[in-house]
Amino acid sequence: MFTVHHLGKSQSERIVWLCEELEIPYELKRYTRDSKTMLAPADYKALHPIGAAPVITDEGLLLAESGAVLDYIIAKYGNGRLTLKQDHPDFVSYLYWLHFANGTLQPVMGRNMILNRLNPPDDNPVRVAQKARLDLAFDLVEARTREAEYLAGKEFTAADIMMGFSLTTMRYFMPYDLARCPNIVGYLARISQRPAYRRAMEKGDPGMALLLT
């Protein structure tokens, strides 16, 4: 049985959403964060040595890392859906934005989250540099969503699924005001209306307010 081990408010929401978009059969096992520490429970940490989300199990295989899990599911169950082939005019854009989420946006949000917890002075050079880097990353997404309906171009792809978490649920951990990014807000309105997204969030994180603005 193909199982998605979903930790609430985590990158594993990408995998639940992906499975709903592909309409593939899967078992969903939900795990709740500790209410005080917001860390994963012990039974989730025991799934994989690094203890991070997402984790899937499939016919004896255990796999972590959302990008790797996404690639695995698309390769095995996708039948060419949600990805673009090399000869597609938007192929390079698809690759860029697919990897931008965990290659650029997610790391810089994580660094700013840690700095916020350490709370150095506002003029601390590291804090200033990382805040500027974060703004630049959001500026790039804002520019892209101004010129294209979806991140790869005209088609909704796995790149949108990868970016969705970073632009929404990740802001529970690293707040970011999207008032300066009206095109991102419009983009989030588009992707959040997808029935598969709604099903995924209702199944994975029922009752959680969706940070779409």
* Domain shared by 14 and 61, yes or no: yes
Q: Domain range holding 129?
A: 91-191
- Is 30 contained in some domain? yes
pLDDT the model gives residue 82: 98
Preceding peptide of 41 cis, ω within 30° = no
* Domain shared by 128 and 62, yes or no: no
pLDDT the model gives residue 39: 84
pLDDT the model gives residue 187: 98
pLDDT digits (tens, 9 = 90+) for 83-111: 999 999 999 999 999 999 999 999 999 99
* Domain shared by 11 and 66, yes or no: yes
* Domain count within the chain: 2
pLDDT digits (tens, 9 = 90+) for 172-193: 999 999 999 999 999 999 999 9
* Domain shared by 109 and 73, yes or no: no
pLDDT digits (tens, 9 = 90+) for 106-160: 999 999 999 999 999 999 999 999 999 999 999 999 999 999 999 999 999 999 9
* pLDDT over 90 at 195, yes or no: yes
Q: Which H/E stretch holds residue 192? A: helix 182-192
Q: What is the CATH number of the domain that holds 15?
A: 3.40.30.10
Q: Please give the C-alpha separations between residue 70 and each of 17, 53, 58, 184, 212, in angstroms, as whole numbers.
A: 10, 13, 13, 23, 23
Q: What is the CATH number of the domain that holds 99?
A: 1.20.1050.10
- Is 134 contained in some domain? yes
> C-alpha 154: how far from its chain's center?
20
What is the residue-averaged pLDDT of the chain? Answer: 95
* Domain shared by 176 and 107, yes or no: yes
* Domain shared by 62 and 141, yes or no: no
β-pairing, 55-58 vs 27-31, is: unpaired
